Amino acid sequence: MLFVPQYLLHGSQDTDSSLASSPDIPSSPETLLSAKLEHYIANGAPPPSARFDPATKKEAPPLSITALWKYGAFVATKGVYYALRTSIWMLYVLISPPATELASDFFSHHIWGPRRKSWGIEMTLLSALMRNIARHSTLINLPMLRALIQISGLVPLPSDAIVTPVTFRVHRRKLRGFLKEVDAKEDGSRILSGEWVVGKRLWQRLQNEWRRTKPDARGQRQKKKERVVLFLHGGAYYMFSIETHRMLTIALSKYTDARVFAVDYRLAPETIFPGQLHDAVVTYLRLIEDLKIPPENILVVGDSAGGGLSLSLLLYLRDNKYPLPSGAILMSPWVDLCVFASSLSARVI
């Protein structure tokens, strides 16, 4: 809808008297409005108050390198600004609720005591953190969660530890039992990654022992009895990696005086069962068959979901008559995948 002021239609005493008295222009309201707007007709003459000449040709200024630099700087500045603002907002949303809960549990632990008598302050804070992750899981999707978790893998290694990443191809090994079908699909193109973790003191001792060992008639050196730890990380089968568990694997190497081999088995939802168990079995067989490490020298270790996977590995090896390792360490293993245990509701914390 177009609203036209009344003075344009009916005229006024000072501005419209000349138009109304003109013999060539009728004094109707439509004629007065047309006369007022005749300067704005397309291709018409500019009004007397015009500040520019329409006949003047408009030319854009030439684009110089300096201008390009300014445009690039502007885009980069604005891009970084909005990226930082978005990141800060997301971190605030994700961190502020857990931080409040952590602070509350910290003071509660020291004033009224822990939720469980056996808990130290570390367990209290870990429990508070895990509860908040469950409560606010809707604020983030799985790829972003994995990306944030992987940041912990960027922490510099201690000066007394050596980490050596390795990869190996998964070949068909004629597995028995229910892994027979998935094993038959392997053609040697798939690659698994892992890493050897060892303390520097242990590494130096192993190097000195190797140098002192004299080769036999065939030119081979007799291998010493060396303990090796096969580590399977936790993470509910869908997150975490060998990088996020380095502080644990480094400590394992120091306290067990053994080399630790941690494997990055496939995760859900990209890989479904029994993909994780298949990777664990293939890794164990690589140690005893390809690297010739005696089974009695191997210790299987896992935490949380990795503890459950370690137990599954042991059961598979036992049921299908494979050589068993010397033992296992299961740290808070997740073995109740059907969530039937009464402790889930009876011991809520």
Question: Which ranges in 112-163 belong to alpha helices (H)?
Answer: 121-135, 142-150
Nearest CA to 158 among 196, 200, 203?
200
Same domain for 228 and 325: yes
Phi and psi angles of residue 122, each rounded to the nearest 5 degrees, phi first: -65, -45
> Around Cβ 146, how many Cβ atoms within 10 Å?
17
User: Residue 219: what pLDDT?
Assistant: 63
Q: Distance between CA 130 and CA 108 in Å, rounded?
A: 17
Task: Provide the percentage of residues in the chain whose pLDDT is more than 70.
Answer: 64
The verdict on residue 52 lying in a domain is: no
pLDDT score, position 164: 94
Whether the predicted pLDDT of 236 surpasses 70: yes
Residue 89 inside a domain? The answer is: no
Which range among 72-86, 296-310, 312-326 shows the weakest confidence by mean pLDDT?
72-86
- Note the pLDDT of residue 74: 57
Average pLDDT over residues 117-143: 75
Quick one: pLDDT at residue 9?
A: 46
295, 241 in Cβ contact below 8 A?
no
- Condensed to tens digits (0 to 9), the pLDDT of residues 254-292 reads 999 999 999 999 999 999 999 999 999 999 999 999 999
Q: What is the mean pLDDT of residues 170-189?
A: 94
Percentage above 90 pLDDT, the chain: 39
Of 120-129, 158-167, 266-275, give the lowest mean pLDDT range. 120-129
Length, in residues, of the chain: 349
Asked whether 231 and 284 are in contact (CB, 8 A), the reply is no
Q: Which residues, other chains included, contact 40 with Cβ-Cβ below 8 Å and sequence gap of 6+?
A: 47
Mean pLDDT of 37-60: 60
Asked whether residue 323 falls in the same domain as residue 249, the answer is yes
Least confident span in 247-256, 257-266, 333-342: 333-342
- Per the prediction, the chain carries an average pLDDT of 78
> Does residue 85 fall inside a structural domain?
no
196 and 126 inside one domain: no
The C-alpha angle 180, 186, 192, rounded to 5 degrees, equals 110
**106 and 33 in a common domain:** no
243 plus 317 within the same structural domain: yes
Tell me which of 222 and 264 has the higher pLDDT.
264
Report in angstroms the alpha-carbon separations of 289 from 38, 145, 322. 96, 37, 11
Is 202 part of any domain?
A: yes
Q: Residues 176, 303: one domain? A: yes
Token pair recorded at residue 290: 């390809």
Is there a domain that residue 347 lies in? no
Residues 173 and 274 in one domain: yes
Q: In degrees to the nearest 10, what's the CA dihedral of 75, 78, 83, 88?
A: 170
- For residue 260, the enclosing domain spans 153-211+224-331
As a whole number, mean pLDDT of residues 136-161 equals: 76
The answer as to whether 70 is a domain residue is no
The answer, yes or no, to whether residue 325 has pLDDT greater than 90, is yes
The mean pLDDT of 40-53, rounded to a whole number, is: 59
| Number of structural domains the chain divides into | 3
* 311 and 169 belong to one structural domain: yes
Output the pLDDT for position 20: 43
Is 48 inside any structural domain? no
Answer yes or no: is pLDDT of 235 > 50.
yes
Q: At what angle do helices 275-285 and 305-319 cross, to 10 degrees?
A: 70
Buried-exposed string 9-29: b where 16+ CB fall within 10 A, e elsewhere:
eebeeeebeeeeeeeeeeeee
Question: Do the domain assignments include residue 174?
Answer: yes
Pick the more confident residue, 99 or 317. 317
